[in-house]
Amino acid sequence: MKKILLLFSLITLVGCSQFSARKDQSQHITFNNSISRGKYNFNLISLEYPNNYNGKIDFLKNLNNSLTNLNSVQKNNLNLLITKEMDTDFSSLIETGWFDKEIIGMKIVEDLSTEEKAFLNDFSIEVPENAGITQKLLNRQYFLLLKLTDNESLYNSSYLYTELDKSLLMEDILLSRKSIVDNINSIKKNFVYSDWTENDKKAVYIKNANQDINSLEDKSIIFKNSDVNSGFKVFPNSLVLFLGNSHKYLSTDDYELTSNLVLVKSFDELKNLTNDSNSVSNLLSWKRKDWTKNDTTESLENRFSTWEAK
């Protein structure tokens, strides 16, 4: 009797335009050799990025020291949450070796804007009393560049620094920056961006829990807060991993993917967090499998289960 009722329901549904063959969005997914079947966890590391320049310098020094002490496997598993300001500064460092207000020290004095001159004049240092305005600004530029390598003590308040002095110092600074630039480059593939970007090859963490996932770019990786779901789900245009341990866990027969947002107060914590994590860059190779029709030898119950409402 149960099979008769099921058959009647199937015939009714086939004739209804509101129903169509289901392409199971969760089960039909694969990765291009980057992730085999199994369990994976992705820790997203959030480090507080300072707003002021001096704080940023300390941040970069601590980050550089921590990354230098990580082995290649740990670096590969470090998924760093990147804010918009961090993205701006890190991109500038990688491309030029400079970031933030440092460009003020590189410029020729005559090219400085009013705001940039005011920034230099805020330094509480002595400058030659009999020097002109241009020379005083040049001395302040030199002092700014000395600060970048913790060599403020080398500043001579009675000396008239030249553009050549400044150029030589800039070369030394760029050499000293090589370590942090190399380290940032080594983890760049695992940056998780806190703001939406139009680059669909970036892993993206979306803060807005109500954002329409289907509106995002094709093949995006989305980390999303949810009070309901944990695990992951495949949408038409994006692979979404739900952060945290909500009560409804979504997984498949092939993959169990969990993710957590970890607020880190000390750089010393990075080592342990990378040991319990996988690289988000491996997720970028995901694709949906082609859905195939059920075998005709399947039971009626199984065949019926491949239909669902739109």
Instruction: Render pLDDT for 280-305 as a digit per residue (tens, 0 to 9).
Output: 998 888 887 765 544 455 554 444 43
The 3-state secondary structure of 132-160 reads CHHHHHHHHHHHHHHHCCCCHHHCCCCCC
Question: What average pLDDT does the segment 121-145 reach?
Answer: 92
- How far is residue 93's CA from residue 90's CA, in Å, rounded to a whole number? 5
Flag the least confident range among 115-119, 178-182, 192-196, 244-248. Answer: 192-196
pTM above 0.85, yes or no: no
pLDDT confidence of residue 1: 52
Average pLDDT over every residue of 49-62:
90
The C-alpha atoms of residue 180 and residue 177 are separated, in whole angstroms, by: 6
Rounded mean pLDDT of 252-277? 88
pLDDT of res. 250: 86
- Please report, for residues 112, 115, 124, 144, 148, the alpha-carbon distance to residue 119 in angstroms, rounded to integers and kept in the order given: 10, 6, 11, 10, 16
Domain ranges for the chain, please list them.
18-44+188-310
Q: Supply the pLDDT for residue 18.
A: 39
For residue 15, pLDDT over 60 is answered with no
Per-residue pLDDT at 25 exceeds 50: no
Q: What is the mean pLDDT of residues 265-293?
A: 82
More confident residue, 48 or 195: 48
Query: Does 238 have pLDDT greater than 60?
Result: yes
Encode pLDDT of 199-222 as tens digits: 544 567 665 555 566 655 555 788
For position 218, what pLDDT does the model report? 57
Q: pLDDT at position 211, please?
A: 59
